[in-house]
Each structure stands twice: as structure tokens, then as C-alpha cells.
Structure 1
Amino acid sequence: MIYPKIPLAQTVVQLCKAKGVKHIVISPGSRNAPLTIGFSNDDYFKCYSIVDERCAAFFALGIAQQLQEPAVVVCTSGSALLNYYPAVAEAFYSDIPLIVLSADRPKHLIGIGDGQTINQKNVFENHVLYSSNLKLDLKEKDTHGVEEELPIFKNMENKVETLLGLKKTIQQYNEEEIDKAINMTLLENGPVHINVPFDEPLYDMVEELYVKPKSTNPENKPLQIDDYILGDCIKNWNAASKKMVLVGVNQPNQIEQRWLDTLAADESVIVFTETTSNLHHDTFFPSIDKLIAPLTGDHFKKLQPDILLTFGGLIVSKKVKAFLRAYKPQQHWHIDEKKANDTFFSLNNFVKTTPNYFFSKFLPQTRLVTSNYKSYWSHLKALRLVKHNDYLNSIDFSDLKAFDTILRAIPNDTCLQLGNSSTVRYAQLFDLNKTLRVFCNRGTSGIDGCTATAIGCAVVNNKQTTLITGDLSFIYDSNALWNNYIPNNFRIIVINNQGGGIFRILPGHKNTENFDTYFETNHQLTAEHLCNMYGFNYESVSSETALKASLKSFYSDGDHPKLLEIFTPKNLNDEVLLNYFKFIG
């Protein structure tokens, strides 16, 4: 087998392999050549070449999101690394394991005006679990394992390391740092950054390993809950007649069905689920905004919970956040292994464990409480659904009508990726097919990597993957299509309302030149030429009839991935949506 000659590169590659890290997303470059040689010449790894670093990082994030295991991104030195930052931040706030390997110049070439060089040390420190800055190998070896003479600058560095008594521990230091960083992402599900300095020559190869790095197993802490905390939770829960469970972003199949059934059986409990929660029960309350948007003060007081129990990631619904901030629960508990966001400014109990483990210890000791809390809101939920359907049957073709048609047509067991901004918010208004697995980059809620994430998801997913996205999100991330790995069953649906439609819904002065240019970003672009360039089958529609006809064949097998662009009337969409909330009330 062929290996990079540089021992540090060998060390990085071998430790990734020892820890079962398989998916390596490489952006072509020169300084990262030793790592590229090591990963691409070992059949153990599945390597991908993605030129655009921002897209590469979101592509890797999509892989890690689906597999729930670390994916690696590898880049050259300089500004290439900074292009990873949006995906690193998303991974940090969404608890997705991502390993960033950045090649770097040696210390003596940093800060002297050398090309393609920036200060890479700790560049992501506010948004990673761990930053590791490795040390340059002090001496290289030739193909016979004989140490070579070092350039003058490396000799100076060598003398300093020797004087400090570090010379013999460079390899050990690097091994321990790499080992620690990878273990961190394995244990805590988040991004880590390993900065790897290389000196020239970069492309030399050998046929044997110089190093045998030591790998340690990550130490999993046993799940547990303090008896006092558990007892207090049980006591308060059994005494409350109005309990609300609110679930944010959640991986599919994370909660055992028996615990969901237990919650559903209690008439003092209502469970609000978001589209991204991937939790379903006939008695739960999806489409939160549909229920609470028309409420007034008296209804809000009736809905105000004694206890709010939350788990999962960030909440999409602005309306439920506004409600719970204004009508605070007496107690707010959050269940999570890592962090508790005080989203509603009322958090008083953070139970640091998994939701499933908490329910296994907690729910068997609770009792059903007599209450009309659930029955009252279930009745209102049924009324809202009738009004929802009546409204959809009465409106002209628009974003809302298009989403109703699209979401009804998605095949069972599809992996559904939602773009941010308007897309995920429109999806929140509908009760989705329970067989769908729904994902959205809600950690930072940015539009910058939705397409690349969906493609990474599709590459490692055996199921059909469909991305629904807006026109600005799609155009912004269009470099994601510069990708040789897109499966033919991948589908993209672009809702093109000729700008940032969500800004027409928000308060502000509309239909002015300033608004059109700087807020809505009015445009006349389409996806057609991009599809021609990147090998997608393209179709466009601009009416309900045409959309329904197109969707009949959209998911059928083909020789290329497909994109369906739906044009909706931008000057009507906001009026339709705002009137929707008035109508259902």
C-alpha cells in the first residue's frame, strides 16, 4: 500500500482508521496533499472530492447527520479553512459529529507574508468541542528510514524543541491530541478542529508505515439521574393538571413508542411536536402555529402550562416562543445530555441525560391526572383542521397551495430535507406523512448549505431523498450541485417566488424599490440553466393543475436526478398566508 512519507500525515490517517471514521470529504489543494494521499490510497476510507469548501463541509455534515457518526473534511491552508465555518457552526448547534482537518504551514512561515497563509490556530474556538494544534515533525526520514538533514529554519525549531525537552515527545503529543479530538466528537456529537502543519516536500510517498499510533477508546459515562431530582420531578408532575411537552429537532426513532403512548394517555398532558421532531401520535399536536396563531389573551391563559417539559433541538415556531415567553410556565424542565437553552426565560430544571432514559425512569412512576386540558385543545385542534382544509379549497395558487400539493405527493419512507426560512415554516402548517424522516439545518437556521446537506444525506441514504427549498436558498448554495456523487433518485423542489418571500410576511414597508432590492432581493433567475450544466432533469410549473400532473411522474425512476421548479405569485403569497391565520381563527 502507498502511504504519505510524512509521519504526521500517517498518524492522522491511521488514528481515523483505528476509530472507525470512514467518510472523508476532500477539497483539492497542495498543502493537504499528504492527507489526501493517505486517505485516498486506503480502501478502508470512502473518499469524496468536493471543490468548494463551504459545500464540502455541508456535504460532510449531511453524511454525519444521517449516519450519526463522524465525517471528515480535509482542506489546504489559508482561506479554504474559513469556508468551513458555516457548517462548523451548524454542527456545533445541531450536535452533529464533524472532524475538520486543516493543513497548515510550519510555524516559521506564518506571519511573514508567505502565500496562502493565515492564522489557523484555534480559528473555530467558539464553535467546536475541541481545537487541536499539532506539532510539525522535527525530522523527516528518507525511503530507507534514515533521518534527513533539515532546512535551517527547521533546525532552529529543532533546537528549541530539544532545549525545552520536547523533542522526544512530538510524536506522542500529536497522537494524544488527535486521539483526544476524535474521541471528543465520538462522545459528545459535535465538531472538532485538528490543525496539521506540513513542510515541503508534500507529495513524497512510501510503501511502509513509520508510525504505529496508539488509539484509546472513548469513555462512555453511564446514564443516570439523581434520585432527588427524579423524585422531585415525579412529585410535581403528579400534582399538575396542565403539562405541556414541546419537542424540537429530534432524530427519528430516538424515543421508544411506549413512552409516547404513556404521554398520550394522560389527559393532563398535551404534546406539541414540530415538523423536525420526527415524533408522531394521533393525539399529539403537530402544526403548532395552526393551533395558537389565532389565540387571544384569555385563550393563552387557558393554554399556559403548569409544567413545560422540552427536549430536542432548536424550536422553529416563533409563535410558540412568543407565547411561552409571555405566559411563562411555573416550571420549565429541559432533558438533554449536553445543554439546556433557556429559550423561554423560565428554565429551572436541567436534567442531564437522554430523553429516552429519563422517560424510562420517570414515566413508570407517574400517574394519570384528571383534567380537561387535553380534551379542550384537542377539540380546538379538530376545528382548526376543518378551517385549514376549507381555506385551502378556497384560495388561488400560491406558496401555501403549492406546499399542500407537494406534501401530499411525497412517497412513503422518504428522507425529507427542508430548506430554511419560508420552507420549514410553511411545512410546519401541515400534518406530514408519518413515514417521512424530516431534517433541516436548524442549528443556525441559515440558508447557506441546505442543498449540500441534502446531497450528503442522499449519498449515504438507501431511501428516497427529497429537498424542498426556496429560490434564494437554492441559488445561494448552487455550487452544491458541482458534485459527482448525486444519486439518480435525488429530488429537488424549488419554490420560486422571485425573492425572499419571508420578508413580505414580516412587518415592514413592502412594494418599494428599497424593499425589493435590499430585503426581498427581487430577481428573475431560474434553475433551468444550472440543471443543464449539472445534469439534472428539469421541469417547471406555475399552476396547481400543472403541479399535480408533474408530481405524478416526478418520483419515478430515471437516469438523472430531477428538479422541479414551481413559480408562485410573489405579490399574492404574503396576503394568502396572513389571511390564513385570520380565517382559521
Structure 2
Amino acid sequence: MIYPKIPLAQTVIELCRAKGVKHIVISPGSRNAPLTIGFSNNDNFKCYSVVDERCAAFFALGIAQKLQEPTAVVCTSGSALLNYYPAVAEAFYSDIPLLVISADRPKHLIGVGDGQTINQPNVFENHILYSANLKQDLEEDTLEEKEELPIFKSLENKLETLLGLKQSIQEFNEIEINKAINISIAKKGPVHINVPFNEPLYDMVEELSVKPEVVEPPAEHLDVDESIMQDCISKWNNAKRKLVLVGVNQPNQIEQEWLAILAKDKSVLVFTETTSNIHHDSFFPSIDKIIAPLNTEEFKDLQPEILLTFGGLIVSKKIKAFLRTYKPKEHWHIDTKKANDTFFCLSKFIETSPNYFFSKFLNEVSTVESSYQPIWERVKQHRRAKHSEYLERIEFSDFSAFSQVLKTIPDNTVLQLSNSSTVRYVQLFNLNKTLEVYCNRGTSGIDGSTSTAIGFASASKKQTTLITGDLSFLYDSNGLWNTHIPNNFRIIVINNQGGGIFRILPGHKNTDNFDAYFETKHNLTAEHLCNMYGFDYSKALNEDELKHSLETFYTSSSQPKLLEIFTPKNLNDEILLNYFKYIK
């Protein structure tokens, strides 16, 4: 096998292999050549070449999102590393194990005007679980690293000290690499390993010169203190209005038997977001459809005594506003890692997995007689009927386009959503329960949605469909500059010629200032990008064209496909705002 000659590069690669890191996303560069040589010549790794570092990081994030295991991104020194930051922040807030490995210049070349140098150690300080700043290897035939060496009195002492320093540096680097990868595995988040290399960078050998020690990650701790559990059981059994709110959640994380117990209890409402990936006929998806038309008295009727939350960040601004105004007496959040006080009333952080908690909790609680669920079940059925009526009345628009698109996505496939208006529209519809739904809700940015979806698709055997807005798609168009896109990947672009969500928000519309700086009006399309990157392109300008396009959109093909749906930007906001009035 071929290895880089530099021992530090060998150490990084061998510890990645030992810890089960399998996917390596590499952006081209010279300073990272030792890492590129090592990873790409080792059959234990699947390597991907993605030129644009921002896209590369989101592509890796998509792989990690699918596999739930550390996925590495490798770049050269300098500003290349900074392009990873949006994906690092997303991984930090979405609990996705992203392993950032950056090559760096030696210390003596930093801050002296050398090319491609910035201050790389701790560059992600506010959005990283751990930063491992490695030390450069010392070479026996040079004393370049003078800051590491004392003044020697004899050659013998000099060599002994040099060998001791080499051993000390190797041990330090092994500890730091082990710690970084273990934290990414155990705590599900991004870590950064900064690796300084001196030239020559391209020398190769056929035998390893290091055998790094492998430190296993700590075992997961799930137990809940008995006094906390008993307090929860007692309060739950005495409450007649309990609201369970589920945010971003991986598919198949919660056993169906626990969901069935929650569904049977008439004192419990389970509100689920589109990204929750949990379903039951008695649960309440499409939260905004339920609560947007409520008045003050109805909000008081909905106000829970206990709010139990699990999963990641919440999309619905309306549920956040409701629970911040009509606070529950108790708010419990279940998570292995962190508890956000989203509603400013957090009373218990139950530090375990939701599945483990329910396995211990739900067998001990009693079913409470209550009218809470039946009352709101009638509201849900009323809203659904009015929703269907409204769709029959409206013109072709964003709203009707989403309705048509969501009905046609094939069973047992993956749906990736971009942020802003896309995920919010989808929240208004009851989705096919066989779909797996993902969205970058950690930072909720429009950047990187396409690259993330492509990364996910490359690691998944299931067909993946991305629904995205025009601005999000154009913003991340370099994501299509990727040779790893599967032929069954599909993109649907809702093109309303700008940032349509700003037409729904308060403010003056239809002014030059609004068009230029808020809506960012444009006349661009995806057609030429599809021609350049080898996508099968089709478009729809009305309901009939959309129906016709969707009939063959998911069939097998020799290249990925993109469908661009053009909607009337001056009608979309009016139709959406009138929807909430109509369904009341």
C-alpha cells in the first residue's frame, strides 16, 4: 500500500481508519497532499473530490446526516478552511458528526507574509465541539523548529533531546486525534483537526513508520435518576392537558409501541413537525394549520399543563409564539446532549435518549380521563376539510404547486427540503408516512441545501428528492459541480422569481427598494445550469404542465432530473395569507 512519508499524515489516516471513518470529501490543494495521498490510496476509505469547499462541507454533512457517523472533509491551508464554516455551524446546531481536517503551514511560516496562510488553530471556536491543534513532526536531520529545542551542549545530548521531543510530539498528536474523533462520535457534532505540514509534501513510502494507539470513545450513558423519573410520573398522572412537541428527529428513532401509548391517552396531544419523522393517526401534524386561526380563548384552551419536547429545532414560529405567551407549568426536554430553553420556561432537562426515557416512563404512567385530545381532534378534522376546499378554489400558485408535488413523491423515498418558504409550505400538508424527511434546521440557512441533499443521496440506496426555492437553489448552484450525483436524484425548484417569503412578512411591498433588497427580484432559470452539469431539465408554467411533468419525473433515467415550476409571485402571498382565514 502507498502511504505519505510524513508520520503525522500517517497518524491522522490510521486513526481515522481505526475509528471507522469511511467517507472522505477532499478539495484539491497542495498543502493537504499528504492527506490526499494517504486517504485516496487506502481501500478502507471512499473518497470524493469536490472543488468548492463550501459545497464539499455540506456534501459531507449530507453523508453524515444519512449515516450518523463521522464524515471527513479535507482541505488545504488558508481561506479554503473558512469556506467550511456554514456547514460546521449547521453540524454544530443539528448534532451531525462532521470531521474537519485542515492542512496548515508550519509555525515559522505563519504571520510572516507567506502565501495561503491564516490563523487556523481554533478558527471555529464558537461552533465546534473540539479543536485539535496538532504539532508538526520534527526531522532528525534539521533543527527548523527552533522554538521546540533548547540550546545543546553536545551532539549526543542534542540527539537524545530531539528523539525525546519527537516521541513527545507523536504522543501529543495521537491523544488529540483520538480525543477529537471520539467526541464527534459520542456527542454527535463537528470537530476540527488542524495538521501542520512542512515540505516536501508529495513523498511516498510503502510501509508505515508509526503505529498510533487507538483510544475507544466512552460508552453512552442513558440512565435517568430515579427521583427525577418518579417526579415526572407523579406530575404526568395528575395533569389533564399534556402537549408533546417533536422537532427534527431521525427516522425510526422511536419505537412504535411508545407512540401508540401516547396516542391512546386522551389527555395528550402530540404535535409533530414535518422533520419529526414520526406518525400516528391520532397525532397532529401541520401545526400551523391547527393554531394559526386561534383566538385568545382558544389559545387558553390549548395551553398545556406539561410540555414535553424532544428532537431538534422547531420550524413553526406560531407554536413558539404560542408557548412563550401561554406557558405550561412544566417544560421537560429529553435529549442526550443539550436542552434549548426555546419557550423560556424549561423546568427539567432529562439527559437521555427519548426512546430510553419512554421505555422507562410510559409503562409506569396512567391514562388520564380528559377532553383535551377529543376537542382538538375535531378542530383537526375541520381544518383538513377546509384545507381541501381551499385547494379547489385557488389559482395556480406556490400553494397549489406544493400540493401537487407532495402527492406524487414515490413511497419509501427520501425528501430533502430547503429552508425559508419551502419547509414552511410543506409543514401545511399531511405527508406520505413512508417518506424520510430532512432539512438543515440547525442554522436554518438557505446555503448548502442542494449540496447536503446530493451528499445524502450519494450515501443512500433510496431515491432522494430535493424541493427548493429559486434563491436557495441558485445560491448553492456550485453543488451541482459534483461527479458523485446518482442518476435517481431529483430536484424540484419552485421559482417565484425572488425571495417570496418576504412578501408574506410585514413591510411595504412592490417598491424598488423591496424588489431589490428584500425580494431580490430576478429572471434567472435553472435550464442552462442543467445543460452544463448534465441534468435532464423540464419546466411547468401551470397546473396542467405540472401534472404532465410529474407523470414521468421519477422514472428511471441515465442522468439526474430537475423540474422547475414557475409560479406567479404577485399572487402567492395573497393566497397563503387568505388560507389561514379560510380554514378557520
TM-score calculated relative to the size of structure 2? 0.97
Per-residue deviation at 1:158?
4.0
**In the alignment, is the contact (CA less than 8 A) between 1:334 and 1:351 conserved in 2?**
yes
* Other-structure match for 1:143: none
Deviations 1:516-573 (A, max 9, x none): 0000000000000000000000001110111011100000001100000000000000
SS for the counterpart of 2:396 is: coil
* Other-structure match for 1:536: 535
**In the alignment, is the contact (CA less than 8 A) between 1:103 and 1:197 conserved in 2?**
yes
* Other-structure match for 1:15: 15
In 1: Cα distance, 2:229 partner to 2:285 partner: 28
**In the alignment, is the contact (CA less than 8 A) between 1:70 and 1:97 conserved in 2?**
yes
* Other-structure match for 1:289: 288
SS for the counterpart of 1:365 is: coil
Give the counterpart letter for 1:414 in structure 2.
T
In 1: Cα distance, 2:234 partner to 2:462 partner: 44
In 2: Cα distance, 1:77 partner to 1:579 partner: 52
**1:125-524 matched pairs, under 5 angstroms:** 125-139=125-139, 147=140, 149-150=141-142, 153-155=144-146, 157-159=148-150, 162=161, 166-524=165-523
**In the alignment, is the contact (CA less than 8 A) between 1:138 and 1:158 conserved in 2?**
no
**In the alignment, is the contact (CA less than 8 A) between 1:486 and 1:561 conserved in 2?**
yes
Deviations 1:18-60 (A, max 9, x none): 1111000000000000000000000110000000000000000
Deviations 1:353-381 (A, max 9, x none): 00000000100000000000000000010
Per-residue deviation at 1:489?
0.2
* Other-structure match for 2:544: 545
Per-residue deviation at 1:164?
13
In 1: Cα distance, 2:563 partner to 2:220 partner: 47
Give the counterpart letter for 2:22 in structure 1.
K
In 2: Cα distance, 1:70 partner to 1:127 partner: 16
Deviations 1:292-316 (A, max 9, x none): 0000100000000000000000000
In 1: Cα distance, 2:434 partner to 2:191 partner: 33
Give the counterpart letter for 2:442 in structure 1.
G
* Other-structure match for 1:75: 75
SS for the counterpart of 1:463 is: coil
Per-residue deviation at 1:154?
2.9
Corresponding position: 1:100 with 2:91: no
**In the alignment, is the contact (CA less than 8 A) between 1:129 and 1:185 conserved in 2?**
yes
**In the alignment, is the contact (CA less than 8 A) between 2:137 and 2:166 conserved in 1?**
no
In 1: Cα distance, 2:219 partner to 2:451 partner: 32
Give the counterpart letter for 2:546 in structure 1.
L
* Other-structure match for 1:3: 3
* Other-structure match for 1:55: 55
Structural RMSD (CA)? 1.2
* Other-structure match for 2:28: 28
| Structure 1 outlier segments of 4+, above 6 Å | none
SS for the counterpart of 2:328 is: coil
Per-residue deviation at 1:126?
1.1
In 2: Cα distance, 1:44 partner to 1:393 partner: 55
Per-residue deviation at 1:153?
3.2
In 2: Cα distance, 1:222 partner to 1:109 partner: 44
Give the counterpart letter for 2:47 in structure 1.
C
Deviations 1:366-407 (A, max 9, x none): 000000000000001000000000001100000000000000
Count of residues in correspondence between the two structures: 576
Q: 1:159 to 1:167 in 2, by over 3 A?
A: farther
Give the counterpart letter for 1:484 in structure 2.
T
Per-residue deviation at 1:222?
3.2
In 1: Cα distance, 2:181 partner to 2:338 partner: 20
**In the alignment, is the contact (CA less than 8 A) between 1:121 and 1:133 conserved in 2?**
yes
* Other-structure match for 1:91: 91
In 1: Cα distance, 2:3 partner to 2:183 partner: 26
In 2: Cα distance, 1:422 partner to 1:394 partner: 22
Give the counterpart letter for 1:58 in structure 2.
F
In 1: Cα distance, 2:347 partner to 2:473 partner: 41
TM-score calculated relative to the size of structure 1? 0.97
Give the counterpart letter for 1:409 in structure 2.
T
* Other-structure match for 2:154: none
**In the alignment, is the contact (CA less than 8 A) between 2:186 and 2:220 conserved in 1?**
no
Deviations 1:411-446 (A, max 9, x none): 001100000000000000000000000000000001
Per-residue deviation at 1:165?
7.1
Instruction: Structure 2 unaligned segments of length 5 or more: list them.
Output: 152-157
